[in-house]
Structure 1
């Protein structure tokens, strides 16, 4: 599968089969995040692979919008390091996309559970502290997201896109 094919096939998958993911695939998925670009090549993001069912179940309660994580075979927690780089959020976000696309190439489904909440500091602190405590993450890290992974129980259809001409502009913004 080429990159564009992975982009086209990527779906938000929240129902998973009870089938383990091979270790070598998980390592390659982690490497996709590791090799993602980072501003000034600084170590502004880190990843935690979670496979223990009891931890996945606990993390599924980090927000009311992640009950699907309980059924995942694995998850990758993506952290950011604001004191290392002012681009920590962008770097972690790019890495999330790389992880998702590599997962898609292996025929895995992924779902993005947002933990960091840019517009609600209190809600973000609540979510992040829940994950920090559960995984013994140092307090100087921010928790950007948790990506759940597993073999899809079913392949969801593609979501309807807005017309391309309303999103893409050439040379200047078109009203």
Structure 2
């Protein structure tokens, strides 16, 4: 399946068959998800893959009883990590250098420039926003990868962040934020594409044109 086919065939599925997602297939999906780009390659997002029925029951509570956590065999919680830039990032820098993607000069520049950029975000109160954006990019990659792997997904809104954090064991982590919940499994329903406005209605050239 091409990327274009995945984009055009992906649908949001709310109801799932009870069939489990094979562990190796889930591992493949998660490996593709973390290939998503992030600002400064900081990778300031994590994914909690929930398969334990008891934890999924907790996510049912956190989502106000929505059907996805009750039916889907896998729930993914995308966690944004706004403060991760303050932690040791030497492995990221070393990997960039070792793969040949970064020169020694660039790696040295990266360490200083990325910290300076994150500091400027902190001063403007934008750290959380940027980390959530990066987590959402990973979530988008996940939905397309799942489609290619024959899995259905549903990006979820309507959840209580404090409850979600409690369920996955980070209720005391004010430095973390929940970006998105996503159900993953095998569809028990066939969803018809509701359609989208034509590009001429929502795509602008050079400047935003008021309607």
Pairwise CA RMSD of aligned residues?
1.7
TM normalised by structure 1 equals 0.87
> For the residues of structure 1 that align with 2:145 and 2:43, how far apart are their CA atoms?
21
What is the match of residue 137 of structure 2? 94
Structure 1, 21-30 or 63-72: larger mean CA deviation: 63-72
Secondary structure class of the residue paired with 1:60: helix
Pairwise CA distance, 1:67: 2.8
> For the residues of structure 1 that align with 2:30 and 2:179, how far apart are their CA atoms?
16
> For the residues of structure 1 that align with 2:155 and 2:31, how far apart are their CA atoms?
18
Residue 34 in 1 paired to residue 34 in 2?
yes
Question: 1:109-140: CA deviations, max 9, x gaps?
Answer: 10111367xxxxxxxxxx22212211112512
Q: Which sections of structure 1, spanning at least 5 residues, go unmatched?
A: 117-126
> For the residues of structure 1 that align with 2:36 and 2:145, how far apart are their CA atoms?
11
Larger relative helix fraction = 2
- Greater than 4 Å deviation, 4+ residue runs: none
> 1:132 aligned to 146, 158, 165, which one?
165
Bigger relative contact order, structure 1 or 2 (CA pairs below 8 A, ≥6 apart)? 2
> For the residues of structure 1 that align with 2:194 and 2:48, how far apart are their CA atoms?
29
TM normalised by structure 2 equals 0.73
Secondary structure class of the residue paired with 1:27: helix
Pairwise CA distance, 1:95: 0.3
> For the residues of structure 2 that align with 1:77 and 1:71, how far apart are their CA atoms?
16
Corresponding pairs, count? 165
> 2:156 aligned to 113, 119, 124, which one?
113
1:143 to 1:59, Cα distance in 2 relative to 1, 3 A: same
What is the match of residue 155 of structure 1? 190
Question: 1:58-93: CA deviations, max 9, x gaps?
Answer: 202213373322100101110001123632011001
> For the residues of structure 1 that align with 2:24 and 2:62, how far apart are their CA atoms?
28
Residue 146 in 1 paired to residue 181 in 2?
yes
Secondary structure class of the residue paired with 1:112: strand
Question: 1:89-112: CA deviations, max 9, x gaps?
Answer: 110010000111111111111011
Determine which structure has more spread, i.e. the larger CA radius of gyration. 2
